[in-house]
A and B are shown apart, each in its own frame.
Chain A
Amino acid sequence: MRVFAVAIAFSVGLLVLLGYFVPSETLLVDVRLVLVQWAVILAAVAVLVGVLNLLGVHWQKIQRRQKGGAYSILLIVSLFSAAVLGIFVGTDSPTLRFYLEAIIIPAEATLMALLAVTLVYASARLLRHRPDLMSFLFLGTAVITLFAAAPLPFGKVPPLNLLSDFLSPWLTQVFATAGSRGILIGIALGAITTGLRAMFGIDRQYGGN
């Protein structure tokens, strides 16, 4: 079974990879499209398996009367109501849209809003626990970028105009671009290595030691 799994991962990975580097009119590109469509179907099934697993974990929590079981009841009821409505009535039904507008969007926006406070708290902690050159550079750049982007009530008065007209664009377009380019190239090299390790069966994320 293990050898078979590695053979599947290697062969489909290689076929998809070759599909990227051959001319677009060849059979290999069609094969890649079919393989990716099967993967989309299997990924959707994997999502369902994940949701079923979530249900199972919380169902066990309720059955064993563990701490926080009342929250699990809330989760199961809300999960069932959204899933049943979505599957039988449709994802664009008014009730599901109501869930989206009344619960999902406000919750996501408020979690994002919490970040505004926690980031300030984290910055203060950073300065207290690691007051070194890198921390000052990091926070100094953040403050300069924020000030340069903010519409100040008294307008662009000297020397503040230097921030928005010279320093901030220079930091963003030269230093931050170089840094993010280096990070992106590093991520790409890491992704290639991880992908090759998965394809050759050195790392088996799909199970089987």
Chain B
Amino acid sequence: MAISSELLSAIISFLMTIFILSYLIRDNPLFRAAIYVFVGISAGYVAAVAWRQVLFPLLIEPIWTGAVFSNPAQAILLFFPLIGSAFLLTKVSPRLGGLGHLPMAYLVGIGAGVTIGGAVLGTLIPQINSTFEAFDLELAAASGRNLLLTTVNSSIMLLGVIGTLAYFHFGARLHSDGSVRRNVFINILTWVGRIYIAITFGVLFAGVYSAALTALIERIDSMRIFFNQITLSL
């Protein structure tokens, strides 16, 4: 009897689900086997995507087809990543690995530039703006919101933002009695910040738990469908 690819996919999917769920009992060889296969397939898939989507079209193909030789500008543009790639590949060898520091420094530099730019323009400025825009009573009046309630809620939010930031402030001063303590005002703000952080993580926990529960229900449903398929095929 020939097994269709759909049925084979359902059988393997079912086995992977059972093997991984077996971890609920305890760590066992079936769970480990499933995880090693998962890691292997994922790593192979990522390597294939890196080759097919990035390296081949951007680096190898222009050289392979000779397009780079007819266009000096493209040749110059490809020269640096080609040399960098060769240096980076030396990381595999412990003896030549030092050469890989240069392209790694390049990647870290680019990463740092992108991170700082993204943090300033994408997070810091918009978040600070939003904190103060909440006090915009004209906007609140235009959207029909209660002005007193908006002011109270905005003040609670401002206190929360400052408190949360104070919680992550670990600076302390040496006092005359030799102890190292934080400022009393910062300590009060830190305590307030802890309350906000507890509530924030509670909401995040609820979100993650909902997603995990959805995944569990989907897996149980997929097993039910698999049993139905098997029953029907028999």
Task: Enumerate B40-62 residues with CB–CB distance to A below 8 Å.
Answer: 40-55, 58-59
Q: Least Cβ distance of B115 to chain A in Å?
A: 5
Given A181-B131, A199-B113, does the pair A79, B41 have CB atoms closer than 8 Å?
Answer: yes
Can you list, as one digit per residue, whether each of A170-194 has a CB less than 8 Å from chain B (1) or not (0)?
0110111111111111111101101
Q: Are B101 and A1 neighbours in the complex by a CB distance under 8 Å?
A: yes
Q: Are A207 and B16 neighbours in the complex by a CB distance under 8 Å?
A: no
Can you list, as one digit per residue, whether each of B166-182 has a CB less than 8 Å from chain A (1) or not (0)?
01100000000000000
Given A74-B33, A109-B215, A192-B120, does the pair A138, B201 have CB atoms closer than 8 Å?
Answer: yes
Task: Note all chain A residues with C-beta closer than 8 A to B98.
Answer: 1, 207-208
Task: Note all chain A residues with C-beta closer than 8 A to B212.
Answer: 112-116, 119
Tell me how many residues of A have a C-beta within 8 Å of chain B.
Answer: 124
Task: Note all chain A residues with C-beta closer than 8 A to B59.
Answer: 41
Task: Note all chain B residues with C-beta closer than 8 A to A15.
Answer: 113
Q: Report the nearest B residue to A122, measured CB to CB.
A: B205
Tell me how many residues of B have a C-beta within 8 Å of chain A.
Answer: 116
A-B pairs with beta carbons under 8 Å apart, 11 shown: A1-B101, A34-B77, A48-B50, A48-B89, A51-B47, A54-B43, A74-B40, A102-B9, A104-B42, A138-B198, A178-B200
User: Assuming A53-B91, A104-B42, what are 15 further A-B pairs, CB within 8 angstroms?
Assistant: A17-B117, A53-B92, A56-B92, A82-B48, A86-B52, A94-B5, A96-B45, A98-B8, A106-B17, A135-B198, A176-B200, A192-B124, A195-B111, A204-B105, A208-B101
